[in-house]
Amino acid sequence: MSPVSREVQDKCLIITINHAPVNALSHAVRDGIVAALSGAGSDDVDVVLLICDGRTFFSGADISEFGKPPKSPSLADMIDALEQCPKPVIAAIHGQALGGGLETALACDYRIMDASARIGLPEVTLGLIPGAGGTQRVPRLAGMEIALELAVSGKPISAERAVDAKLVDCISPENLRQTALRFIKQTRLTKRPVREMPVPIMDEAAIEKWSGFARKKLAGQTAPDAVIEAVRASCQEDFLAGLTRERELFVDCMSGAQSPAMRQLFFAERLASKLEVPLQADPLSLRTVGVVGTGTMGVGIAAAMLGAGYDVIMSDANTDALTVGHDRVGAIIDGDLAKGRITGAEHSGRHAKLSKAQDWAGLSACDLVVEAVFEDMEIKKLVFGELDKVLRPDAILASNTSYLDVDALAQLSRNPERVLGLHFFSPAHIMKLLEIVRGEQTSDAVMVTALKLAKSLRKIGVVCGVCHGFIGNRMLTGYAREAGLLVLEGASPEQVDKALKSFGFPMGPFTMADMAGLDIGYANRRKLDPRQFEARAFHVHDQLVEMGRKGQKTQAGFYRYEGGERIPSADAATSKIVTSVRSREGIVPRDVSDAEIVERCMLALINEGALLLGEGIAQRGSDINVVYVNGYGFPRWRGGPFHYADALGLNQIVSRIEALADQHGSRWWHVAPLLRELAEVDRSLSDYSSAISQSN
Peptide bond into 673 cis (omega under 30): no
Q: Is 423 helix (H, G, I), strand (E, B) or coil?
A: strand
**Alpha helix (H) residue ranges in 53-133:** 75-83, 100-106
Applying CB under 6 A, which part among 79-87, 91-99, 165-173, 590-598 lies near ligand COA? 91-99
Single out the residue of 182, 215, 270, 670 in contact with ligand COA (rule: CB under 6 A): 270
CB of 615 to ligand COA, least distance (A): 26
| Subset of 23-42 contacting ligand COA (CB under 6 A) | 24
Between 267 and 374, CB nearer to ligand COA: 267
Between 131 and 557, CB nearer to ligand COA: 131
Distance CA(134)–CA(443), nearest Å, equals 48
| Subset of 543-572 contacting ligand COA (CB under 6 A) | none
Residue 145 annotated to the active site: no
Q: Are 80 and 41 in contact (CB under 8 A)?
A: no
**Which one is catalytic: 103, 145, 269, 482?**
103
Single out the residue of 22, 142, 480, 556 in contact with ligand COA (rule: CB under 6 A): 22
Run of H or E residues at 290? strand 288-292
| Subset of 39-78 contacting ligand COA (CB under 6 A) | 56, 59-64
Q: Are 552 and 594 in contact (CB under 8 A)?
A: no
C-alpha distance from residue 421 to each of 175, 344, 408, 446 (Å)? 44, 34, 11, 11
Distance CA(498)–CA(621), nearest Å, equals 28
21 binds ligand COA (CB under 6 A): yes
Single out the residue of 122, 508, 631, 635 in contact with ligand COA (rule: CB under 6 A): 122
Total of residues contacting ligand COA (CB under 6 A): 19
Longest dimension (CA), the chain: 93
> At residue 674, what is the residue type?
L
Q: At what angle do helices 594-614 and 673-680 cross, to 10 degrees?
A: 100
260 binds ligand COA (CB under 6 A): no
**Which one is catalytic: 83, 123, 246, 435?**
123
Distance CA(419)–CA(640), nearest Å, equals 30
Distance CA(167)–CA(680), nearest Å, equals 54
3 binds ligand COA (CB under 6 A): no
Between 99 and 609, CB nearer to ligand COA: 99
Between 50 and 126, CB nearer to ligand COA: 126
| Subset of 94-113 contacting ligand COA (CB under 6 A) | 96, 98-100
Q: Is 158 helix (H, G, I), strand (E, B) or coil?
A: strand
CB of 256 to ligand COA, least distance (A): 15
DSSP-derived secondary structure for 337-387: HHTTSS-HHHHHHHHHTEEE-SSGGGGTT-SEEEE---S-HHHHHHHHHHH
Between 32 and 100, CB nearer to ligand COA: 100
Q: Is 4 helix (H, G, I), strand (E, B) or coil?
A: strand
Residue 123 annotated to the active site: yes
Distance CA(398)–CA(536), nearest Å, equals 35
Distance CA(667)–CA(669), nearest Å, equals 6
CB of 154 to ligand COA, least distance (A): 8
Distance CA(454)–CA(452), nearest Å, equals 5
CB of 220 to ligand COA, least distance (A): 20
Single out the residue of 123, 388, 519, 608 in contact with ligand COA (rule: CB under 6 A): 123
Distance CA(383)–CA(374), nearest Å, equals 11
Between 63 and 488, CB nearer to ligand COA: 63
Between 419 and 454, CB nearer to ligand COA: 454
Between 27 and 356, CB nearer to ligand COA: 27
> Which residues here bind ligand COA, judged by CB under 6 A?
21-22, 24, 56, 59-64, 96, 98-100, 122-123, 126, 267, 270
Which positions are catalytic? 103, 123
